[in-house]
Amino acid sequence: MMDSTTRSTSRTSIRGTARTSRRGRAGAAAVLAVLTVTAAAGCKAQATGSAPAAPSAPPRATTTDDDKPASRPPTPAASSPEATASPTPKPDPQGTTLMASGSESKRVRELQARLRQIGHFDRSPTGYYGSVTVAAVQSFQGKRGLSRTGRTDTLTWQKLLGMTHEPTAAELNPPTTRPAAKPDKRCMTGRVLCISKNSRTLSWMIDGRVVSSMDVRFGSQYTPTREGTFSVYWKSRHHVSTIYHTAMPYAMFFSGGQAVHYSADFAARGYNGASHGCVNVRDEGKIASLFAQVKNGDKVVVYG
């Protein structure tokens, strides 16, 4: 039979055990609730490196989804090298272009010399295919029933070769830029400096034969070079103008202060300038040779 102390202890123990049991059941229920919530949250979680969950509906296609999406037109042609390439040109019925504007060569010089032989090129060959050569080729092509392209193609070249002869050295490299004019009748006898204003050339002639020719420049409209028949009355190798204080090398005076002489300005500026009435020569080597041959008293003919 238990005493009162024993019974009290026993009741306390039972109550503690019951409370512990109830706390255990409450804790288990709480843990279960937490696990349930965590599991529900884990439906949308995605770990690093894992595949994404499949969407509920497929997204609308965009240009970044595929190179050629079915819902979009193909990539614009401008972005495709094949689309931007020029179509293959049709072959020229007159053949391959051999020479054209801007070309510069010995062959161009030959072209010009041959065109000059048959009257399509009115000046001395330069070897440069400029606007004058283009016009000359167009003229030749038009006369032969060819397309007037101005370019020297295979067919144009072959026709030109068939109508002309191989140019001589003098035809390829004439002494003047422009062809010398037909000599005035006053130049056909004796020793003459035959000077043409129209062709802007000087021909040194002896008994009707041209010994040498060279380009010349004349005075401006305010200081014109006098025309007529004169004679050399004074030669001055290192002359300097007393009026303009400019050098006049190889001067050969024929009318007052007017002379034939070398001009460095003419050599540098060409026909963009003019003299004060003298006959300027721009090729120093040629006038040096002429100066050595001409004598005082030799005739000078200046004509238009």
Q: What is the pLDDT of residues 138-148, one digit of tens each?
A: 999 999 999 99
pTM: 0.50
- Give the number of other CB atoms < 10 A from CB of residue 51: 7
**How far apart, in whole angstroms, are the C-alpha atoms of residue 227 and residue 196?**
10
3-state SS class at 160: helix
Nearest-5° Cα angle at 197, 195 to 199: 90
Predicted confidence band of residue 88 (pLDDT cuts 50, 70, 90): low
Beta bridge partners of 172: none
Q: Give the tens place of pLDDT for each residue, 200-216.
A: 999 999 999 999 999 99
Q: Span 224-251, mean pLDDT?
A: 96
* DSSP-assigned states of every residue in 6-56: HHHHHHHHHHHHHHHHHHHHHHHHHHHHHHHHHHHHTTS---TTSPPPPPS
Residue pair 163/118 in contact by the 8 Å Cβ criterion: yes
Span of 12-21, 108-117, 233-242 with lowest mean pLDDT: 12-21
